[in-house]
Structure 1
Amino acid sequence: MTEPAKAARRRGPALEQAILRAAADELLESGYPGMTMDNVAKRAGTNKNAIYRRWPHRPALGVAAYKLLTTTALDLPDTGDLRTDALELLRRANSHLASPLGEILRSLLSQLSQEPELLTELRDQSGTDGARPWLTILDRAITRGQAPAAARHPRTATVPIDLLRNEFVTRGVPTVPDEILTEIIDTIYLPLLRGYRP
């Protein structure tokens, strides 16, 4: 009787994807606090050294796995009105943060004080990706003459989403009421944009 053939050893991108998928599954089952490198290695069928060669610490792997779970094409609102587009985009972000995937992000954010590397990883992974939807709707508004070109800056464009995240982190709410979303757009974001001068 011949022995069964051993599974081919995974290397490179195949192993990396297996680890990421395992980490994503751990996030879905246990959240970030329950995601351990041991559990990810066991689920991926590899060892911790293989993980650490690719991700130097748990925050790096946790954020990369979260990004894997949330990488989808975003259909941006384009109504011809900056206020309507910004409010709709903020409502979608609120729905996401209130969803199971949003719970994972909130669990990542809740660990910032224990694992300072998380903040760096969240910033690095987001990069310009997090600002892109907001810059897109702002660019459209600038083209239509609804906002000054001087207002085009990633920090300015993302004020609504930053304030929304702050609501989740500081208030610990499961979702942010719509009146607060409207307040963010009407009393902070739009006046901020109008305050820029060419």
Structure 2
Amino acid sequence: MTSARPKRSRTDPRRRGAELEDALLRAAWDEVVEVGYADLTMESVAERAQTSRAVLYRRWPDRRELVLAAFRHRAPGSGIETPDTGSFRGDVLALLRSVARRYDQLQGMYSVIMAEYAKDSDLSTYLRDRANQSVGSAMTVILDRAAARGELAPGSLSPRVKRLPVDLLRHELLFGKAAMPIPDEFIVEITDEIFLPLVELQAGAEVAGDAEADGGTARNVVR
């Protein structure tokens, strides 16, 4: 059931600049939370914001860009941070906690996001590609720092392995019904019992191969 849209009086002052954009993005957020992305239209957002479609189109070319702008407006900032705590384990934990905070900021929208991930839509493809690129880039920086500190053997992991910790967070929220905010013990469990052993196994195999070729001995990884 669609809730009643707020109506503006003809005596209301005309909204301009930041005030107008704030109203448009709040309307887009409320609309997508209420009806979902599939049923959202530029017209429905304009109606909710008590303005015209032309006002929306002057700022955003289509509904995908409008909804993404609403995401950023609701949870401002760069999104996923690339931490530098001084240790590999600390960096992984900090990264996952940053992601968890981001999900918590998007409560109300998260069900919409996860529903879109399961669809072959323009928004789902865009969100998935952007999230995977962001997480992969952050994890690459973390792995490179760990190698420079001597905690890991130099070498690359596959993009899928780099994304694994965050993919597990998403999976738990979608299928495991994890509470929001995500419990910190779950983040520690992903890090200590799944991701770090997997990285150690892959990096260790890689080092062992190099060491055997050189006639040397492989060193331990993930200290």
TM-score, length-scaled by structure 1: 0.70
Greater shift in the superposed pair: 76-85 or 144-153: 144-153
Q: Report 1 or 2 for greater relative contact order, CA contacts < 8 Å, sequence distance ≥ 6.
A: 1
Tell me the equivalent position of 2:90.
84
- Matching residue within 159, 163, 172 for 2:164: 159
Unaligned runs of 5+ in 1: 1-6
Mapped to 2, the partners of 1:101 and 1:22 lie a distance apart of: 18
Equivalent in 109, 126, 130 of residue 131 of structure 2: 126
Structural mapping, 1:12-161, within 5 Å: 24-34=25-35, 36-37=40-41, 38-42=43-47, 43=49, 45-47=51-53, 51=57, 54-55=61-62, 58-59=63-64, 61-73=66-78, 76-97=82-103, 99-113=104-118, 116-126=121-131, 128-161=133-166
Larger Rg: 2
Distance in 2 of aligned mates of 1:61 and 1:50: 8
* Separation of aligned partners in 2, 1:127 and 1:92: 15
Shift of residue 112, structure 1, vs aligned partner: 4.1
Alpha-carbon RMSD: 3.6
Unaligned residue ranges in structure 2 (runs of 5+): 1-13, 208-223
**1:125-164 superposed Cα distances (whole Å, 9 cap, x missing partner):** 4363343332222221121122233234443222111111
Q: Which residue of 2 aligns with 1:3?
A: none
C-alpha distance in structure 2 between counterparts of 1:84 and 1:54, whole Å: 41
Which of 131-140 and 27-36 deviates more? 27-36
Displacement of 1:93: 2.0
Task: State the partner residue of 2:191.
Answer: 185
User: Is contact 1:66–1:105 with CA below 8 Å preserved after alignment?
Assistant: no
CA distance in 1, matches of 2:108, 2:164: 21
AA matched with 1:72: G
**Contact kept? 1:27, 1:34, Cα under 8 Å:** no
Give the counterpart letter for 1:156 in structure 2. V
Partner letter of residue 83 of structure 2? P
> How many residues are treated as equivalent by the alignment?
183
Deviation at 1:85, TM superposition (A): 1.7
Contact 1:139-1:152 within 8 A present in 2 as well: no
Change beyond 3 A, Cα 1:69–1:149 = farther
The CA deviation at 1:169 is 0.9
Match of 1:4 in 2: none
- Cα 1:64–1:28, aligned 2, differ >3 Å: closer, same or farther? closer
